[in-house]
Structure 1
Amino acid sequence: MPSHASKLSRRAFGGVVGASATVAALGTTPASATVAERPFRAAPGRSAKRPNILFILGDDLGWADLSSYGAPHIKTPNLDRLARQGVRFTDAYSGSATCSPTRFSLYTGRYPGRTKGGLAEPIADRSVGLDPNHPTLASLLRGAGYATALIGKWHCGYLPDYSPTKSGWDEFFGNFGGALEYYSKLGLGGEYDLYEGDVREGDAEYKDLRYYTRILTERASEYVRRDHRGKPWLLNLNFTTPHWPWIADGDEEESAEVVRRIKAGDGRALFHDDGGSVEKYTQMVQDLDRSVGQVLKALKESGQEKDTLVFFASDNGGERFSYNWPLSGNKASLQEGGIRVPTIVRWPARLDGGQVSHEPVFTPDWTATLLEIGGARPDRAHPLDGTSLAGYLLRGERLPERALFWRVRGERAVRRGNWKYYRGKGGKDQLFDLSADRREQADRAADEPKVLAELKAVWERTDKELLPYPA
């Protein structure tokens, strides 16, 4: 235990878990790949009860940051194993290019621009958030009999008006803001940002000043081991790793320096502009992998592995030190590197392992999918923008070709089939054939004017349905 841990949580050690593929889309074979993947094929006819849902998000993790996605220098054996046991998606996307809009799209199953809070890219103050009256993945599943919990990063609004417990989650333990220092738990405004429900730990009888990823891993392990009295459960486990600041477990001196700067009024201390390295980032990603492995071990030991759907992805593309090759762009951009994310799904009772899917899918699809699998009906007054993948995954149905839509300030994008329409901040309409050019370097707009016009019209029709950005 680090020397600066004081008055640890009364449950801090209750769930302690001991610390302990051929990539067809890339054309490379990572060292971790020991079993060749086969194209995805559903196994219909199997019966299973409604699954528990363990939905894990990494934070700013790049598309190729896992060894099973081609990273040559990052070792992620636990996530690689998860991929071998389930389905790895090569063309999966986040709902937006930054933290909170993607979370809005996951929690509501709708484009971020349908709600005022989703227009913030990302939320940086207390003026907006996820309306507690808006139905969510958690509230709809809870209405269908699920126990619900969110552990980790919320980033969809601040108290007193917004919180997970106001939006359908029975339990919350984590941080409200977009980033925090991993040991002190100080947020962007210098506040202590670790809460149990809607009560800040610093206002209660204890603080937990250990490394944040350790704490979240323990809490999640305790939750999956718990007796839920026959109810299926939804756990949103939102790690902050590997989001800045670039502080790995054990970096207490670097932590102390960042804290000193925060307390001195340095508003950019948490951005860690002068910190980090490829080596430090590698440590953080590998720590995330170990942490996921510990939670999955707890799940297996609980006897619930077969009947639990485990989902892993990132909330958006990678940042400064991420490995995104061959994609262009990073977090905040609608180029592939800003929105294409590693995505793995495992459900032993219904899905065969060792499979890979190249179908284009994005965050709102998973909301629709989980609601259908969990037996919850979407709210008619708030229609979903995602398409349920349950038929494709479980019944062998063909996934219809449709347009995936993105909008951020100054950029626009649509993907339909292999074609992607993109306009960046320079204002030029571009068209890319992603089946031949995932790096988005060969602009086919002049060669395919009809396709360009069709996708541009799709984007503009959808944009008209959304709220305008505030001036």
Structure 2
Amino acid sequence: MPSHASHLSRRALGGAAVATVAAAGVGVGVGGATAGTAQAAAPRETPFRADTGRRSRRPNILFILGDDLGWADLSSYGAPHIRTPNLDRLARQGVRFTDAYSGSATCSPTRFSLYTGRYPGRTKGGLAEPIADRSVGLDPNHPTLASLLRGAGYATALIGKWHCGYLPDHSPTKSGWDEFFGNFGGALEYYSKLGLGGEYDLYEGEVKEGDAEYKDLRYYTRILTERASEYVKRDHGDQPWLLNLNFTTPHWPWIADGDEEASAEVVRRIKAGDKRALFHDDGGSVEKYTEMVQDLDRSVGQVLKALKESGQEQDTLVFFASDNGGERFSYNWPLSGNKSSLQEGGIRVPTIVRWPARIGGGQVSHEPVFTPDWTATLLEIGGARADRSYPLDGTSLAGYLLRGEELTQRELFWRVRGERAVRRGNWKYYRGKGGTDQLFDLAADRREQADRAADEPKVLAELKAAWERTDAELLPYPS
């Protein structure tokens, strides 16, 4: 099977890749535009040494997640009716990934895979799809992206949605983040901050049961944007920082900034005991969803503006993605399936990486990558090492992005209740809830409609066996 390392269209790279890029000439730019002659970034020292005394060797990390944002919900990914100029600009300034995937098909398992760098099924909390009660969460003793980077000298903060367990046993500040401001649950009403159980769900720092919550009844996306902007503009001295900025936009309920009447109705139903009120089954529209996505784009733009004004833009690695595929009103064409499914529409997500000091702009990568890869990548770039007792399931992309190294072909694995999937190269093995093994050539059929299982029985058998080998290593789902 052919290698897919050539799938990165490069304009510029730093360090050792300069000569390679200069010889390569012309690449493909964002949105299909042709990139000009390669102009390499100035060579810089390798960022991989854990030397906290040399700030310039390691970047700040701004890791931004949207919530239930579909693969094609950005205009740079093909949305014909949604305008996202700030995220499109971010893509032009870095690398836009066309074949990037979430670690799972719903919120909390993907967050487990990001924070641990491992398949969600390796931990009890990751088996919940998603976490909906207080019985499980991310074990505070498990090393995380934050705890490992903090051990390497980073300041760490999480602003926004946690969704990896509840107090008193689980919280970001128990798992490596120095600071936390946000919500614990999977969803909340944007003004009142009422969660799925009717509880108020906005907190700051390590709180104990009975402590007063942090009261702020403004629109939630505005609050998170303000907090994140304050953090990136803070004087951190010579210490690099990690900020996980987890928006809830555009997750239901379908309430945009200014929709006070819709908010009041949802709140009335929550207080009346309607357990489905927050799901907003009778609300929303394509137009309302568009409004929410465009608000997310403006919010990201405001944080990036604050970053630039702080003078840290060049030395900050910015990452943007969604936690899983889109929901009811997402624009996923041409993908099949939505959130909760292991079809492409449930797990393929928009993904953008920018680091001006080391990564040239105008690049498009077609390399298959997924959430645990980013954990491994950021640990290497930040000069941190994974705990050998908790081996990572992701592959570091640092050499691929920074030095032009080829990525070896591997299998990307997913498992949710009733579904299974593996991708290797262009081939994807998929079994849905109907129990039929299917095989798709994603290079020719992103929509997963042409089942090649009968034509390629050997490939099907290989990928099925690969899935079963990995599955045998994971925890079983509770009955």
> What's the TM-score, normalizing by structure 2?
0.89
Q: Which is further off, 40-49 or 138-147? A: 40-49
Separation (CA, whole Å) in 2 of partners of 1:227 and 1:11: 33
Deviations 1:74-115 (A, max 9, x none): 000000000000000000000000000000000000000000
Task: Find the residue that maps to 2:275 and give its secondary structure.
Answer: coil
Structure 2 matches for 1:204-283, cutoff 5 A?
A: 204=212, 207-283=215-291
8 A Cα contact 2:47 2:382, kept in partner = no
Separation (CA, whole Å) in 2 of partners of 1:7 and 1:96: 24
Separation (CA, whole Å) in 2 of partners of 1:364 and 1:341: 14
8 A Cα contact 2:190 2:219, kept in partner = yes
8 A Cα contact 1:2 1:210, kept in partner = no
8 A Cα contact 2:12 2:360, kept in partner = no
Change (3 A) 1:50 1:153: same
Separation (CA, whole Å) in 1 of partners of 2:304 and 2:356: 13
Separation (CA, whole Å) in 2 of partners of 1:458 and 1:111: 15
Separation (CA, whole Å) in 1 of partners of 2:150 and 2:48: 31
Task: Find the residue that maps to 2:413 and give its secondary structure.
Answer: strand
1:228: Cα distance to partner?
A: 1.0
1:344: Cα distance to partner?
A: 0.1
Q: Which is further off, 349-358 or 45-54? A: 45-54
Q: Which is further off, 38-47 or 284-293? A: 38-47
Separation (CA, whole Å) in 2 of partners of 1:371 and 1:246: 36
Deviations 1:306-349 (A, max 9, x none): 00000000000000000000000000000000000000000000
1:199: Cα distance to partner?
A: 2.9
Q: Unaligned regions of 5+ residues in structure 1, if any?
A: none
1:396: Cα distance to partner?
A: 1.0
Deviations 1:36-90 (A, max 9, x none): x999999999995200000000000000000000000000000000000000000
1:423: Cα distance to partner?
A: 0.1
Task: Find the residue that maps to 1:48 and give its secondary structure.
Answer: helix
Question: Does 1:112 pair with 2:120?
Answer: yes
Change (3 A) 1:272 1:101: same
Structure 2 matches for 1:401-440, cutoff 5 A?
A: 401-440=409-448
Separation (CA, whole Å) in 2 of partners of 1:135 and 1:117: 14
Deviations 1:378-414 (A, max 9, x none): 0000000000000101111101100000000000000
Percent of residue pairs bearing the same amino acid type: 90
> What's the TM-score, normalizing by structure 1?
0.90
1:460: Cα distance to partner?
A: 0.1
8 A Cα contact 2:47 2:383, kept in partner = no
1:200: Cα distance to partner?
A: 8.0
1:303 equivalent among 311, 319, 338? 311
Deviations 1:403-441 (A, max 9, x none): 000000000000000000000000000000000000000
Task: Find the residue that maps to 2:433 and give its secondary structure.
Answer: coil
8 A Cα contact 2:52 2:239, kept in partner = no
Question: Does 1:19 pair with 2:28?
Answer: yes
1:198: Cα distance to partner?
A: 2.7
Task: Find the residue that maps to 2:180 and give its secondary structure.
Answer: strand
Equivalenced residue count is 467
1:10: Cα distance to partner?
A: 46
1:465: Cα distance to partner?
A: 0.0
Q: Which is further off, 214-223 or 40-49? A: 40-49
1:258: Cα distance to partner?
A: 0.1
Separation (CA, whole Å) in 1 of partners of 2:2 and 2:189: 15
8 A Cα contact 1:307 1:347, kept in partner = yes
Task: Find the residue that maps to 1:6 and give its secondary structure.
Answer: helix
1:207: Cα distance to partner?
A: 1.2
Change (3 A) 1:326 1:354: same
> Aligned residue for 1:175?
183
Change (3 A) 1:26 1:395: closer
Separation (CA, whole Å) in 1 of partners of 2:5 and 2:258: 13
1:206: Cα distance to partner?
A: 5.7
Change (3 A) 1:337 1:45: farther
Q: Which is further off, 4-13 or 225-234? A: 4-13
Deviations 1:107-139 (A, max 9, x none): 000000000000000000000000000000000
Task: Find the residue that maps to 2:199 and give its secondary structure.
Answer: coil
Separation (CA, whole Å) in 2 of partners of 1:19 and 1:197: 44
Change (3 A) 1:161 1:13: farther
Separation (CA, whole Å) in 2 of partners of 1:314 and 1:2: 29
8 A Cα contact 1:32 1:67, kept in partner = no
Change (3 A) 1:352 1:47: farther
Task: Find the residue that maps to 2:404 and give its secondary structure.
Answer: coil
1:204: Cα distance to partner?
A: 3.2
Separation (CA, whole Å) in 2 of partners of 1:376 and 1:321: 40
Separation (CA, whole Å) in 2 of partners of 1:357 and 1:42: 28
Change (3 A) 1:7 1:136: closer
Change (3 A) 1:238 1:76: same
Change (3 A) 1:5 1:392: closer
Change (3 A) 1:424 1:38: farther
8 A Cα contact 2:73 2:330, kept in partner = yes
> Aligned residue for 1:453?
461
Q: Which is further off, 44-53 or 256-265? A: 44-53
Task: Find the residue that maps to 2:55 and give its secondary structure.
Answer: coil
Q: Unaligned regions of 5+ residues in structure 2, if any?
A: 16-25
